[in-house]
Chains A and B, each alone.
Chain A
């Protein structure tokens, strides 16, 4: 049972590593942001699987923290995205 969980964690991390290729190729900032979001979620899943696989309950707390922080990454991205909205550009240029 434990081996299966650890193998599943490895598989999820492999998927996330595959998804990170989108950061290299991603045309827009949003695509790179998505890969970072996938990294967050994949990290949470892998942590939970490892917590169950290796009977380390502390890893569940680490996943809880990662789940909290994953949201702020995107909020920071959207806030700092270049404010190119037409209305805002008029406001800033005026």
Chain B
């Protein structure tokens, strides 16, 4: 049983790390701001989501698992709001330029 949890953790955390890599490379390589924002949110949501998912079986107690999920929900909420606000700021800048 333990091995099943550990292998699941390794898989999910490495998938999360791959999304962080993809998001970072996207942030550096993409031509304009809005596509960079698109790449960034992938790293945010999926990277962190998969890392948290992978850490759930490692949690020592139900409270810690609940706290992990809370962190992920907060990051989701923050990511969603931030993306909209920054996109509006970018659009406003483009209108002037």
**A contact residues vs B (CB 8 Å cutoff):** 1, 4-5, 8, 11-12, 15-16, 18-19, 21-22, 25, 28-31, 33-35, 37-38, 40-42, 44-45, 48-49, 52, 55, 57, 60-61, 63-64, 67-68, 70-71, 73-75, 77-78, 81, 84-86
**Chain A residue contacts of B93, Cβ below 8 A:** 28-30, 84
Query: In the bound complex, what is the Cα–Cα distance between A72 and B38 (angstroms)?
Result: 20
**B contact residues vs A (CB 8 Å cutoff):** 6, 9-10, 13-14, 16-17, 20-21, 23-24, 27-28, 33, 36-37, 40, 43-44, 47-48, 51-52, 55, 58-60, 64, 67-68, 70-71, 74-75, 77-79, 81-82, 85-86, 88-90, 92-93, 95-96
- Take A8-B13, A41-B75 as given contacts and tell me if A15 and B85 are in contact as well, using a CB distance cutoff of 8 Å: no
B43 touches A38 (CB 8 A): yes
**Chain B residue contacts of A52, Cβ below 8 A:** 55, 58-59
Residue of B nearest to A88 (CB): B92
